[in-house]
Chain A
Amino acid sequence: MGVSNTPSILLSRPVRLTFVILICSVVSWLLMRSFAYHWQWETIPKWTIVIKRGLITTLIFSVASVFFASIIGTLLSLLSISKIPIVRDIYAVFIEVVRNTPLLVQILIGYFVIGSVFNLSAIVAGIAALSIFTSAYIAEIIRGGIESVDKGQREAAYTLGMSSAQTTWLIVMPQAIRISLPSLTGQLVSTIKDSSLLSVIAVQELTLATQQAISNSAASFEFWIMNAILYFVICFPLSRLVGLMEKRMKARVS
């Protein structure tokens, strides 16, 4: 039938993606024009300093939260492999409570309840809430990593005379963390997006900065679109990195 095995240039992925983006842009542009709205994109540059500060705050909060959450999560994951049943139960309860209540509520409780008792600033309460929330997910990621380490590794360490703690820290954890790296990077993407909720307790991150710009300029459409684009520009490359890391890891295993 004359069908070539090599896909036509018109069907290659970059071409398809460009096409999709082009169509979406045209449709959005037509939609935007049809709104009875006076577009004033030119106001955005006036707010560069505020937005930039918000963006930096978002990044600092996200990286700090993932950093603390990695430490807490790693320690938590150790509870999940404890030989003592009650310790494993404590782990399970913590994970279920954190994962089955909204982050927004956790942030509000962290600031208005726990924060007011211990007199915490929004910054401390915010990082703490985000860290604890994220730590539950990281603990589960690392637990998965630990479980995927072959049990022969523990047996070999045991027969060499290593203690249980030595086996965990020198043999199992390094492998578990390596296996978990793509998922941990993925968690950073989630945390960057989740950090937008900190705006409710007046942390000056990207989303709150956007709101401030809007309330002073009345250009809400423009700033919200810009806000979404900024999150996307940060998160998208990180998400691609996750895919790349997974691919590399698969290549190493096989």
Chain B
Amino acid sequence: MSRLIVELKNAHKIFNNNVHALRGVDFEVQEGEVVALIGPSGSGKSTLLRCINQLERLDDGKLSLWGKAFGPRETIPKNLRQNMGMIFQHFNLFPHLSVKQNITVPLRAVKRIQKIESDEIAEEMLKKVGLFDKTNSFPHQLSGGQKQRVAIARSLAMSPRLMLCDEPTSALDPELVQEVVQVLRRLADEGMTMILVTHELGLARNRAQRVVFMEAGKIIEEGTPERLFNSPLHERTKGFISQVLR
């Protein structure tokens, strides 16, 4: 019996400019599950992801994490926030810190561990994403794919139990997408719970147990990748998939 770790009930988000980004979304993720969120831009999939770790606050509805419920005005505690790693479209590496420091500075600040220990973790994580030789480089010396792999290593160093990936390959040159996809694929194979907002339908098809199609702030339909990609029920899903796969 797997455990429910993320649950959104009737989630609403209205931005200051009156954009109604989420219109009553019900969404849940089981432990160990890999869920892909797809949909046209502006459909609310990134907002949905950002509401899970409260980068954006819900305006209405309920968020539950590992069984603890939070209303729109309740702040999730720091330890739960640390359980959720996040990968951004534009990497968001710290440009004034070396690759290694990008991992060790937050690690020491958050976990209050010794330098030796944080250095060891950083090296281990960099090996994991195949960038051990870039330990002392600075972000501006790396390619986009390398930057994203460092960002993944930085996030993994906090030993998260859930990874939120916000279009991790969208800002990459086409030839660099695969190196990042490979790292994410390996992560999925290791049993990491992941929510992927992605245009990389290959990754969604290969590794996701469930694909969720969103449009205009609502979940239109969801299902296994085979079912959703091969025989979408909804006209709009059909339209989107045929457009993207063309």
Chain A interface residues toward B at CB < 8 A? 150, 152-153, 155-163, 166, 170-171, 174-175, 178, 252
Question: 5 A-B Cβ contacts within 8 A?
Answer: A156-B94, A158-B81, A159-B55, A159-B164, A160-B85
When chains A and B are docked, how far (Å) is the Cα of A171 from the Cα of B94? Answer: 7
Q: Is the CB of B110 within 8 A of A152?
A: no
Chain B interface size band reads: 20 to 34
Q: Is the CB of B94 within 8 A of A153?
A: yes
Chain B residues near A252: list those with CB within 8 A: 140
Chain A residues near B207: list those with CB within 8 A: none
Q: Is the CB of A150 within 8 A of B92?
A: yes
Q: Is the CB of A155 within 8 A of B106?
A: no
A166 to chain B minimum Cβ distance, whole angstroms, is 5
When chains A and B are docked, how far (Å) is the Cα of A153 from the Cα of B140? Answer: 15
Q: Is the CB of A161 within 8 A of B92?
A: no
Contact bitstring B65-97, A, C-beta under 8 A = 1, else 0: 000000000000010011011101010111110
A153-B94, A175-B95, A178-B96 are contacts. A161–B110 as well, Cβ < 8 Å? yes
Chain B residues near A155: list those with CB within 8 A: 55, 86, 88, 92
Chain B residues near A162: list those with CB within 8 A: 106, 109-110
Q: Which residue of B lies closest to A150 (CB)?
A: B92
B158 interfacial contact with A, CB 8 Å: yes
Q: Is the CB of A159 within 8 A of B155?
A: yes
Chain A residues near B155: list those with CB within 8 A: 159-160
Q: Which residue of A lies closest to B55 (CB)?
A: A155
B148 interfacial contact with A, CB 8 Å: no
Per CB-CB distance, the 5 closest pairs between chain A and chain B, nearest first, are A161-B82, A156-B92, A159-B86, A152-B92, A160-B106
Q: Is the CB of B106 within 8 A of A157?
A: yes
Q: Is the CB of A170 within 8 A of B53?
A: no
B154 interfacial contact with A, CB 8 Å: yes
Chain A residues near B216: list those with CB within 8 A: none
Chain A residues near B158: list those with CB within 8 A: 160-161
Chain A residues near B154: list those with CB within 8 A: 160
Of the residues A150, A152, A161, A174, contact of B106 by C-beta under 8 Å: A161
B105 interfacial contact with A, CB 8 Å: yes
B 152-188 contacts with A by CB, 8 A: 154-155, 158, 164
Q: Is the CB of B81 within 8 A of A152?
A: no
Q: Is the CB of B55 within 8 A of A153?
A: no
Chain B residues near A152: list those with CB within 8 A: 88, 90, 92
B164 to chain A minimum Cβ distance, whole angstroms, is 8
A161-B106, A162-B106 are contacts. A153–B81 as well, Cβ < 8 Å? no
When chains A and B are docked, how far (Å) is the Cα of A242 from the Cα of B154? Answer: 35
Q: Which residue of B lies closest to A160 (CB)?
A: B106
Chain A residues near B93: list those with CB within 8 A: 156
When chains A and B are docked, how far (Å) is the Cα of A159 from the Cα of B164? Answer: 10
Q: Which residue of A lies closest to B102 (CB)?
A: A156
Chain B residues near A157: list those with CB within 8 A: 94, 106
Q: Is the CB of A170 within 8 A of B109?
A: yes
